[in-house]
A and B are shown apart, each in its own frame.
Chain A
Amino acid sequence: MSTATESPVESHEAAHEEGHDHPSDRRYIQVAVILAIVTALEVGTYFVHMPGEVLIPMLMAMMIYKFFYVAAWFMHLRFDSPLFTKFFVSGLVLATIVYGITLTVFEFWHKG
């Protein structure tokens, strides 16, 4: 925590450690523009005929990129304590494993 005797640099570092050092509004707008572009690319795939072997991995990659981009910048995981990331990723990984097994049991990967 900042005290009166700390230098501005130390105070800034302390604030960063506590997770209060968030990006500027300009940076948030840049992030939103990138997300909008990726969304436009995703929607664009609907109007272009592509084989499923190309289309589905491409859509999944864009989806995962958007997911983690929002989590990192808008949810501040990039700046906050790694403990928050661990809790969130634990839920995500557990869900992926549990439902990956469920979909396998129901032969989703073969039947589609």
Chain B
Amino acid sequence: MRPPRPLRRPPLADTAAVSHGHGTGTGLSDNKLLMWVFLGSECLLFGGLISTYLIYRSRFGDGPAPGDIFDIPFTSVSSFVLLMSSLTMVLALSALQRGDIRNNRIWLLTTALLGSLFIGGQVYEFTTFVREGLGYSTSPFSSAFFTLTGFHGVHVSLGILMLMSLLISSLRGTLTTERSETVEIVGLYWHFVDVVWIFIFTVIYLVPSPTS
């Protein structure tokens, strides 16, 4: 009789160890690796949207031109808010890793609030643009602009939902130091959304745009 094949993965009791990379094929956490692969693919998504915007930014027709409509001081404040949310996110992770549940909750909530503030700013910006005559289908420029920044806004909104679910888990007592990798993975997503905005803010807003 043939001897039983060795288990390629540890039994279910060791799933926590697997999630932290012990016993996986690479010796790394599968979940974290998957998130990095996902973020690599997201580079292609946002690269496509940014390139489309760059190609169409001069095609504003009779509608408002980008250089006439962007409010750089306002967007600068929004960008600063999102950048600082990356700091609060990493402080939330750091607090959980040292077992400081209270500060973990405070920083998670602060990150979600900063993200919401950014989204609020984006809603205000979109509303202002529409009032000034720049609708989604006004011109190829407006379609490319709203699609790019709208997609980014959806990503931030999803991040806020993830942060709120982490906060609820924490309040239920299920988010412990042993599960800090979950916060780290959500953090990776959140920081990625921030670095994408670093790109968008410079390329779309700060690089001089065409005027009518």
Residues on A lying within 8 angstroms of B by beta carbon are 1, 18-20, 22, 24-25, 28-29, 31-32, 35-36, 39, 42-43, 45-46, 52, 55-56, 59-60, 62-63, 66-67, 70-71, 73-76, 80-81, 83-84, 87-92, 94-96, 98-99, 102-103, 106, 108, 111-112
Contact = CB atoms under 8 A, between A and B. Distances in A.
A81 B93 CA distance: 18
B28 A81 contact: yes
B72 A74 contact: no
A60 to B, nearest CB: 7
A17 B21 CA distance: 12
B80 A95 contact: no
B51 A102 contact: yes
Contacts of B43: 88, 91-92, 94-95
Sort A-B residue pairs by CB-CB distance and give the 7 closest, nearest first: A91-B40, A95-B47, A32-B87, A91-B43, A63-B202, A99-B51, A95-B43
Contacts of B207: 55-56, 59
Contact of A39 (B21, B80, B94, B187): B80
Specify the main secondary structure of chain B where it touches its partner.
helix
Contacts of A108: 54-55
Contacts of A1: 22
Contacts of A96: 47
Interface in B167-212: 184, 187-188, 191-192, 194-195, 198-199, 201-203, 206-208
A55 to B, nearest CB: 7
A70 B39 contact: no
Contacts, number: 131
Contact of B83 (A22, A39, A62, A83): A39
Interface residues on B, range: 35 or more
Interface string B124-161: 00000000000000000000000000000000000000
B76 interface: yes
B208 A52 contact: yes
A68 B79 CA distance: 17
A7 to B, nearest CB: 21
B86 A106 contact: no
Contacts of A98: 44, 47
B155 to A, nearest CB: 15
A43 B26 CA distance: 43
